[in-house]
Amino acid sequence: MAKTTKEGEIFGAHMRELRLARGLTQPQLAERCESNVPFISNVERGVMLPGLAMLLRLADALECNVSELVRVLDRAPAGVKSRRN
């Protein structure tokens, strides 16, 4: 069984939410970002994290900014309030 990471699980769940909000299936997203279904599945399950080039393609395929795609991984330094709230 493949090992997941906390960051991978957080990112994958967010990417899945974005995909579903846009009414896309995994095969449709894979086609749009020139990837494959196993890769999309692995990312959504937190097994893999995409590299920079793939993040750019995923953002294009999901019709969002890269910042929207990765915002769930933002960490505020200790003692600094998050700008999200």
* Angle at the Cα of 10 from the Cα atoms of 5 and 13, rounded to 5 degrees: 120
Q: In the prediction, which pLDDT does 38 show? A: 98
Model's pTM, two decimal places? 0.83
Q: Domain-by-domain residue ranges, the chain?
A: 6-69
Q: Name the E strands within the chain.
A: none
CATH 1.10.1240.10 fits 6-69, yes or no: no
pLDDT averaged per 10 residues in sequence order, the chain, 85 residues:
83 97 98 98 96 97 96 73 52
| Of 77, 63, 52, residue with least CA distance to 23 | 63
